[in-house]
Every structure is written in C-alpha cells, then in structure tokens.
Amino acid sequence: MEDLHGKRAYIIGGSSGIGLAIAEHLARHRGTDIVLFGRSLSKLKKAQQQLAPGVASPRQVNCLSVDVDNEEAVNVCMTEAMRTFGRPDILVLSAGTTATKRFVELSAEDFNGVLQTNVQGTVNCLRALMPEMVKTGGKIMLVSSLAGFMGIFGYSAYCASKFALVGLAESLRWELEETPVDLCVLCPPEVATPLIELEKETIPKETRAAKDLLGTLEAEYVAAKAVSGMLKGKFVIIPGFKARLMYLVSRVLPKNLIYRLTLKMVALTMPKN
C-alpha cells in the first residue's frame, strides 16, 4: 500500500458521501493530511470529528466552508487555504447535487442548479487550484458517474452534468499531458450516500428500476477503489463488476441496441401495480 504520509489532499464536497469516504480512506489508510471543503460549516465540523479518531494528529484534518457555485468565494477560499495549509498534492472534486424528476416536471431553477453545482462548481475549483498544482505536480480526481456515459430516465439534469464532467476530464487530460499533474475521473454506479435519501420522494419508478440493475455500492468500497485507481494511474475509474461490464458494453454495442435491451431489463424489474 503506497504511503501518502505528509501529502496534502483537498476534498471538495468533503462533508459527506463519496468525498468524505475518500478523505477517510486517505487519512486513515494512507497517512494523508486532509482539508475538507463544503457549504455547511456545521457538517464539515461533524465530518472533521468523524475522521479525528482514526488519524495520528487532530492537525491532520482541517476544514473550510465555501460555496463552490460562487467563483469569487472559491478564489478567496482557495487562496486562504493554500496560504494556511499549502498547495494540494491531491485534489478531489466531489461536490455535487441532483434533481430526480421527469424533464417536463423539472423547473428551470432545479435543472440549472444541478449544472451550476456539478459542472460550474468543479470548474471554479479547477481554475483556482490547477495552475498552482501544475507548478509542483499532483493528482486531480473529478467525480462523475456511470451516468456520465449513458442517459437514465428521470436524470436529464444529472446526466447532462456528469456527461459534461467526463468531457471536461478528457479535454484536460490532453492539456495536462506535458505537466507533472495526473488526472482521473471516477464514474461509479449508485453509491449509498445522502443523495439517495434526497431523491427518494421524487424519483420515478423507472429511474429506480434502472438503477437497481447495477445495485448500490458502499461509499467505503468506492473510496478504496478510487484511491487505488488514482495511484495506479488509471484515467477512468469504475468501481464494481456490474458497472464495469455495463461501461464496456456501452462502448462496444450500438447505442440503439443498448437502449432496447435496457428497456426490456428495466421492464422486468419494474414493480407491478
């Protein structure tokens, strides 16, 4: 297991979910210093307390509140963070939200809000930190989703945002080729995080059935696979056998055939009324 003792990781969206799980894995199993970022200071403090028992020193885990949607606030916060803690050796961009409804039922505010946080929030953090990381080297992980490769019923806003992140990662991979920065994109299927609870009241039954085809992974498992893949130099990291199989199938078979097969599989798993 590679030792990252003394390395510094900035985890954007680190107060819960995949971001917190990655922070926990890095701190407890790799000896990494952690700086958590998120909107809610109270949630960040709770996450900090959750990590503290498993680390060598309380000083190993710090946190700063920031709204990633606000470019000016991000610039101020990241400047302060680098002045206080130093440049990141690892940057995990995990801030995200969802709005799970049929497209015709989604308000413009809801749709645009998903794109603003998932895409523009990621871009804002990259603009603030990537130029500094290029000077000294490091690793950047964008957290997308398996929904960044295939459309899902009821996920028009979420899929649009995650497709955008995959495209962004592919472009940046070219631009960072001659720099000391390695970039990867994490694309898991459904993960047991607070977002699942957030969407329970609005998720269409078709969406639930489609997601059930691949199952739900635990955040700790995803975090371990994410860090392992990043350290091995993988570009696309897809945790879970079913998810990797679906990804490979989606790259090989014609889109129309995949669509028809998925329709039939979803129909078989749909609850009978």
Does residue 105 form part of some domain? yes
pTM above 0.85, yes or no: yes
Single-letter residue type at 215: G
Does residue 38 form part of some domain? yes
pLDDT (mean) for 12-33: 94
Structural domain that includes position 60: 8-204+215-240
Catalytic residue check, 144: yes
Say how far apart CA 73 and CA 63 lie, in whole Å.
15
Catalytic residue check, 57: no
Does residue 17 form part of some domain? yes
More confident residue, 228 or 259: 228
Q: Residue 34 above 90 pLDDT? A: yes
Catalytic residue (one of 158, 211, 225, 247): 158
Q: Can you give the pLDDT at residue 54? A: 65
Render the burial of 46-63: b for 16+ CB within 10 Å, e for the rest: ebbeebeeebeeeebbbb
pLDDT (mean) for 122-143: 97
Does residue 254 form part of some domain? no
Structure tokens at 17: 């979910």
Catalytic residue check, 158: yes
| Cβ atoms of 81 and 35 closer than 8 Å | yes
Domain of 147, CATH number, reads 3.40.50.720
DSSP assigned state of 54:
G
Number of domains, the chain: 1
Give φ, ψ of 8 to 5 degrees.
Answer: -120, 130
Say how far apart CA 170 and CA 131 lie, in whole Å.
18
CA 180 to chain centre: 22
| C-alpha dihedral sign at 146, 188, 183, 48 | positive
Does residue 84 form part of some domain? yes
pLDDT category of residue 262 using cuts at 50, 70 and 90 = confident
Catalytic residue (one of 43, 139, 162, 211): 162
Q: Residue 53 above 80 pLDDT? A: no
Catalytic residue (one of 144, 145, 156, 161): 144
Does residue 1 form part of some domain? no
Does residue 156 form part of some domain? yes
Q: Can you give the pLDDT at residue 58? A: 60
